Amino acid sequence: MTELSKKEFLNRLLKIVKKLSSLSKSQTFRFQHKWNDFLSTINTKPYLVRAIPVEDEKFLEDIDYRINTLKCVSQAIIDGFYSIKTLIETLYNLYFNDNTFKQQFSEEDQLKVKYLTAKEVLGNLIQYNKLDHKTIPFKYNVIARNYILLKLKGQSDKSILNNMNKIFNNEITLDQIHVVMREVEADGFITIKQQNEGIFYKLVKEIKLSEEGEKNYNKDIYQMIIWPTNFWRSFYNIRELNITPGMDLEHRDFLQKILLRSATQGFSPTEFVFKNLINYYERLKEEST
C-alpha cells in the first residue's frame, strides 16, 4: 500500500470527500428525476441523500470544519441506505398495488415483475440484503438469492435454508422454506419433489416477461431499480483511503486500523471508516487544547 505523510493523507481525504460530495449531488438529482417520472402518481416523497458542502481551504486548515464535514458525509452515507430502502418499500407496498402498474402489465407479468425487481436489486446488492432482509417480501427474496442454482441444477430445502440463513442470521426455519416454496410452486415457476435426503426444488419456468411487458419494464421500472446498484457501487467505494499512514501521523496504529476497512466496498465499511475518522479528529482536537 502507498504510504502517505500527514499532509498527503489530508489531501487524499479531501479528494474523497469532494468525490462523495459530487456523487451525492449527481445521484440525488438522478434519483429525484426518475422518481418524478415514474413514482410521482403514488403521491409519496423519496428519501434523498443530503448535500455535502465542502470548502478546500477550511477542510485542510480548520479541524472543527473538517469534523463537521465528516459528520455530514457520515449522515449522507446513512441517507443512501434509506433512499434504497424507501424505494423498495414504495415499489412493493404502494406501486405494485396501484392501478397505473396494473393497467401497464398483464396479471401474469405483474407477478413476474415483483420477482424480477427483487432479483435485480438483491442479486446485485448482497451486502444490502444482509442489512435489510425484510423490506422485500420473503418469497421474492428467496428466489432472488437462489434463482441461478434453481435454474442450473435445482436445490434441496436444506441448501436453500443454509443459503438464506447467511442473510437472515439463522432466523429462518426449514418449515418457512417449505411454505414459501409451495407459494412459488403455485406461481408456476418450480417443481417440488420428495427425495431421500429431503425436498428438492427445480426451476421449470424462467421468470421472463411477455414482449410488451418487457418493453414497459425496461422503459419504466428497470430505470428506477438500477439506481440502487449504481449508487451503491459508486458512493460506497472509498478504496483510495486504503493507504499506510506515514510516521508523522498521530495515533498511526489507530488510524491504520480505520483505513484498512476502506479496502472493502460497501455500506458497512464506508460507514465504519467515516464514523471513526470523526472519532480520530475529535481525539486530536481534544489533545491540542
3-state secondary structure of 135: coil
One domain for residues 204 and 122 = yes
> Is 254 among the domain residues?
yes
To which H or E segment does residue 241 belong?
none
Domain count, the chain: 2
> Is 70 among the domain residues?
yes
> Is 214 among the domain residues?
no
Distance, in Å, from the CA atom of 41 to the CA atom of 247, rounded to the nearest integer, reads 57
Residue 281's domain comprises 3-94+220-288
Any residues with CB less than 8 A from the CB of 158 and at least 6 apart, and which?
Answer: 174, 197, 198
Q: Which three cell numbers stand for residue 119?
A: 432479483
Given 186, 209, 232, the domain boundary residue is: 209
Q: Would you say how long the chain is, in residues?
A: 289
**Phi (first) and psi of residue 245, to 5 degrees:** -65, 135
Given 209, 234, 259, the domain boundary residue is: 209
Mean pLDDT by 10 residues, the chain (289 residues): 93 98 97 91 88 98 98 98 96 94 95 96 88 92 95 95 93 96 97 90 96 94 93 97 96 97 96 98 93
Angle, helices 138-152 vs 107-124, to 10°: value is: 80
Residue 148 confidence (pLDDT)? 94
One domain for residues 132 and 165 = yes
3-state secondary structure of 284: helix
Q: What is the largest CA-CA distance in the chain?
A: 71
Beta bridge partners of 212: none
> Is 101 among the domain residues?
no
For 183-234, give the secondary structure using H, E and C.
Answer: HHHHCCCEEEEEECCEEEEEECCCCCCCHHHHHHHHHHHHHHHHHHHHHHHH
One domain for residues 205 and 224 = no
CATH number of the domain to which 120 belongs: 1.10.10.10
Residue 257 confidence (pLDDT)? 97
One domain for residues 61 and 28 = yes
**Among 36, 53, 52, which Cα is nearest to 44's?**
36
pTM confidence score: 0.93
Residue 123 confidence (pLDDT)? 82
> Residues 218-222: contacts with CB within 8 Å, 24+ apart?
220/38, 220/104, 221/38, 221/91, 221/113, 221/117, 222/120
| Cα–Cα distances in angstroms (integers) from residue 23 to residues 188, 242, 273, in the given order | 42, 20, 18
Q: Cell 417449505 identifies what position?
A: 178
Distance, in Å, from the CA atom of 274 to the CA atom of 279, rounded to the nearest integer, reads 9
One domain for residues 186 and 119 = yes
